[in-house]
Amino acid sequence: MGRFYVTTPIYYVNDVPHLGTAYTTVVADALRRFHQVVGDETFMLTGTDEHGLKIEREAKAKGLDPKTFCDGISARFREAWPKLEITPDRFIRTTDADHEAFVQELWKKIEATGDLYEGEYEGWYCVGCESLKTEKELEQPGNLCPLHKTAVERVKESSYFFKLEKWQRPLLDFYERHPNFIQPESRRNEVLSFVRGGLNDLSVSRTTFTWGIPVPGNPKHVMYVWFDALTNYRSALGSGDLTKFWAPNAKVVHLMGKDILRFHAVFWPAFLLSAGYTDEEIPDVVYAHGFLTVDGQKMGKSLRNAVDPLRLAAELGPDVLRYHLLRAIAFGQDGDFDHAALLERYNADLGKNLGNLLSRVLGLCTKMTDSKHPGDDLATDGPLEAELGEAYELNVRAAYEAWQSLAPHTAIDHAMKLSNAANLYIAKTEPWAQAKNGDAARVNKILSRMLRVLEALSVMLWPAIPVKAEAMRAQLGLPRLGITIGSDLWPTKMPESRAGLALASAGPLFPTHDEKAQKELLDKLVPKAEVVAGEAAPAVTAKAVAGSASGESGLVAYDDFAKVDLRVGVVKTCEKVPKKDKLLRLTVDLGEAEPRTIVAGLALSFTPEALVGKKVIVVANLAPREFGSAEFDGKKVKLVSHGMLLASGPSEDLRLATIDGDAAPGSRLK
């Protein structure tokens, strides 16, 4: 029995839980569950990152003090995860008192070693990244952050510096001693070449705002948000019994997206080494996974909010979403989340493969074994049993190894291969024909073998689909896994026959959706365009809103009107949509991290060039709408509009609504 400690990033509270944050958190939970199944003692940590300039500004924009603002969004994260069957052992907030005290202690330890000094920082800062940028990193023109595509800010202030430069050599030596520290391999190489290129001392405090942990002995400074945030992984364990999860015999795995690998792979071990932690007390693995797109598009803020993982879980059950996230995306690589693929995968893997196996076997047992587990005489095994046995051994071992090496997609694939082999075994052994021949012993053998494989599958798939796996076990008459963990339950050997045990089957567990049902679900899950944005603009006047909100009267209550989020936008790019006469595809700056993609029916009235640079009025909180697909640069993409422009007039002579005078992108109309 070992110990396994897995963490997700702590998420910024400038956003609510979305598919990206759900992804990392689902993977962490699945890995933790696998380790529970093999009998390890486990600890899972997630939480929220609440300090820093980004959050202070966001709170101010909402007219709230930062703590009240953080309380609200942090609670949304805390409440979200159980809806995806995720129950972390601790949900940490960087505003928790024990965390703040721990961070200050760590600071003091580092200060005592002489690795901190006071100076003045002048340079470029991206508030989106909460990170200083070198001139070299910026995109021109406009001094843009390469990740956020927004202009960085010039900062000049007194600051403490951490002597990161001094840790270049020790870090490289550490990476060499621990070749598995940075995963996957390709990312490790990136980090190595970054560190080999030389490190600059790191500014680790700020004096121009106050929303952060005060620097001990010099409260004019608040700590740099990443110093505060990274420390959560250690502060969460405190200094009592839980430190066993930071001990040499515990495996510590930090999961994160590739966007923030550098902070974890460079700064974090440097802080720990500086504070006197030994190699053994530095995490075992920092694993940077890829980024998800949705239906082929980068997940900007509007799209993230539209593909709500909690809604998907509520609509389809948490397991369907978990399964797809774990199975469809090769962990470590970028991947696309496609609604249609989600339903297809569910149908194929869980419905047709596993679901059919389960319902077929249970159905046969109802007819042939009086709904009990039959006995199984191993002495009479033949070549088909040997073939199944081989598939069993191979896939159970490979799945185990895949979970251990952080490859959930491969682990699940092996469970499905075993399910396939079992379906094949039934097809070849034809228990129904054996029953007709009156060969009860053979029927019993076949069904018993299948029940044992199903039992093994319920264990192998529990990390991915805990609700369905427990339901499978209930149908098989087996105890819940969740209450029996604590010893190694991995089915390395095929489970023993459970002759005589009553089955408790009831209803199909994985009902498949036919084409019509799939289409209906898709219509529900992916908002479709009913009208072309731009053309429909006049419909967003008070009249239309009133029509839906207040029925006959034609009047709209102020509260209803206030729900419509109208914002000033600036058109950044604009192009014609091939083969769609009326449509233009625009990107519009709304003061968000990334410009929005908006599809509008303006092409009969404007050339694309005429619109670039124009100030427009955008309905910013309209659910995304799809306009079919089109080919751009030889690639077929879905046309999804994330907002609507306001305009007036006939479609060949539209006039755009705009604002007079100066207004920054994102300004709200009131």
Q: In what order do the strands lie in the sheet with 292-294?
A: 297-298, 292-294, 335-337
Q: Which is nearer to ligand ME8, 93 or 567 (CB)?
A: 93
Shortest gap between Cβ of 9 and ligand ME8 (angstroms)?
4
In this structure, are strands 41-49 and 131-133 parallel, antiparallel, or unpaired?
A: unpaired
Return the residue of 4, 5, 6, 10 that touches ligand ME8, per CB under 6 A.
10
Cα-Cα end-to-end distance for the chain: 61
Instruction: Using DSSP bridges, classify how beta strands 3-12 and 250-257 pair: parallel, antiparallel or unpaired.
Output: parallel
Provide, rounded to whole angstroms, the least separation between the CB of residue 654 and ligand ME8.
Answer: 34
- Please work out the total of residues on this chain that contact ligand ME8, with binding judged by CB under 6 A: 20
Does the N-terminal peptide bond of residue 508 adopt cis geometry, omega within 30 degrees of 0? no
Shortest reach from residue 556's CB to ligand ME8, in Å: 36
Least spacing, CB of residue 10 vs ligand ME8, in Å: 5
The DSSP-derived string for 376-435 is --GGG--HHHHHHHHHHHHHHHHHHHHHHTT-HHHHHHHHHHHHHHHHHHHHHH-HHHHH
Closest approach of ligand ME8 to the CB of residue 127, in Å: 12
* Dihedral sign, Cα of residue 647, residue 648, residue 650, residue 653: negative
Does 224 sit near ligand ME8 (CB under 6 A)?
no
State which residue, 18 or 585, has the beta carbon closest to ligand ME8. 18
**Of residues 80 and 459, the one with the C-beta less far from ligand ME8:** 80
Residue 74 near ligand ME8 by CB under 6 A = no
Judged by CB, which is closer to ligand ME8: 38, or 230? Answer: 230
Q: CB-wise, 145 or 256, nearer to ligand ME8?
A: 256
Distance from C-alpha of 658 to C-alpha of 646, rounded to nearest angstrom: 8
Integer Rg of the chain from CA: 28
Taking the complex as a whole, how short is the minimal distance between the CB of residue 430 and ligand ME8, in angstroms?
46
Is the CB of 49 or the CB of 376 nearer to ligand ME8? 49
Binding of ligand ME8 by 174 (CB under 6 A):
no
608 lies in the site for ligand ME8, by CB under 6 A: no
Q: What's the CA gap between 307 and 129, in Å, rounded?
A: 23
Q: Which of 291, 527, 549, 572 binds ligand ME8 (CB under 6 A)?
A: 291
In sequence order, the β-bridge partners of residue 298 are 293
> Is residue 49 involved in binding ligand ME8 (CB under 6 A)?
yes
Shortest spacing between CB 552 and ligand ME8, in angstroms: 44
What is the edge-to-edge ordering of all strands in the sheet holding 90-93?
Answer: 90-93, 41-49, 3-12, 250-257, 285-289, 182-183
Token pair recorded at residue 200: 């600059």
Would you say 161 or 263 has its CB closer to ligand ME8? 263
Question: Which residues ranging from 349 to 378 are in contact with ligand ME8 (CB under 6 A)?
Answer: none
- For tokens 């053998």, the residue is 445
Q: Rule CB under 6 A: is residue 425 a binding residue for ligand ME8?
A: no
Nearer to ligand ME8 by Cβ, of 92 and 451: the residue is 92
* Nearer residue to ligand ME8 within complex by CB, 66 or 431: 66
| CB of 283 vs ligand ME8, minimal distance in Å | 12
Cα 152 from Cα 129, distance rounded (Å): 10
Q: Looking at beta carbons only, is 9 or 212 nearer to ligand ME8? A: 9
Is residue 14 exposed (0-12), middle (13-18) or buried (19+ Cβ within 10 Å)?
buried
Among 229, 275, 456, 568, the residue binding ligand ME8 under the rule CB under 6 A is 229
| Backbone φ and ψ of 568, nearest 5° | -80, 130
Q: What is the nearest approach in angstroms of ligand ME8 to the Cβ of residue 226?
A: 7
Cα–Cα distance for residue pair 227/94, rounded to 1 Å: 11
Nearer to ligand ME8, 24 or 302 (CB): 24
Residue nearest to ligand ME8 (CB): 20
Q: Tell me which residue of 13, 6, 156 sits closest to 77, measured CA to CA.
A: 13
Q: Minimum distance between the CB of residue 557 and ligand ME8, rounded to whole angstroms? A: 35
Cβ neighbours of residue 575 under 8 Å, at least 6 residues apart? 584, 585, 586, 608, 632
- Shortest distance, position 126 Cβ to ligand ME8, whole Å: 12
| Amino acid residing at 474 | A
Q: Is 631 in the site for ligand ME8 (CB under 6 A)?
A: no
249-288 residues in contact with ligand ME8 (CB under 6 A) are 256-257, 259-260
* Smallest gap from residue 22 Cβ to ligand ME8 (A): 9
Beta strands in 498-648 (DSSP E): 566-576, 584-589, 596-600, 615-619, 625-632, 635-641, 644-645, 647-648
Residue 302 engages ligand ME8 in binding (rule: CB under 6 A): no
CB atoms within 10 A of CB 370: 10
Closest separation in Å from C-beta 231 to ligand ME8: 8
> Is residue 230 close enough to count as binding ligand ME8 by CB under 6 A?
yes
Contacts for 386 with CB less than 8 Å, ≥ 6 apart: none
Which is closer to ligand ME8, CB of 230 or CB of 316? 230
Cβ pair 174, 273 in contact under 8 A: yes
CA distance 407 to 330: 7
Question: In the chain, how long is the greatest CA-to-CA distance?
Answer: 90
d(CA 260, CA 256): 7
Near ligand ME8 by CB under 6 A: residue from 213, 299, 416, 570: 299
User: 11-30 mask for ligand ME8 (x: CB under 6 A)?
Assistant: xx--x----xx-xx------
Least distance (Å) between residue 5 CB and ligand ME8: 15
Helix (H) and strand (E) counts for the chain? 24, 25
Q: How far apart (Å, rounded) are the C-alpha atoms in residues 560 and 344?
A: 38
Output the smallest distance, CB 263 to ligand ME8, in A: 7
Q: Give me the least distance between CB of 76 and ligand ME8, in Å please.
A: 12
Please say which residue, 21 or 605, places its beta carbon nearer to ligand ME8.
21
The answer to whether residue 325 forms part of the interface with ligand ME8 (CB under 6 A) is: no
User: In the complex with ligand ME8, which residue's Cβ is closer, 329 or 362?
Assistant: 329
φ and ψ of 519, to 5 deg: -65, -40
Residue span binding ligand ME8 (CB under 6 A) among the ranges 26-34, 227-235, 342-350, 510-518: 227-235
Question: Is 292 a residue that touches ligand ME8 (CB under 6 A)?
Answer: yes
From the list 99-107, 229-237, 412-420, 440-448, the region that binds ligand ME8 by CB under 6 A is: 229-237
Q: Which helix (H) or strand (E) holds 6?
A: strand 3-12
46 binds ligand ME8, rule: CB under 6 A: no
Q: Does 131 bind ligand ME8 (CB under 6 A)?
A: no
**199 binds ligand ME8, rule: CB under 6 A:** no
- Which stretches of the chain bind ligand ME8, using CB under 6 A? 9-12, 15, 20-21, 23-24, 49, 229-230, 232, 256-257, 259-260, 291-292, 299
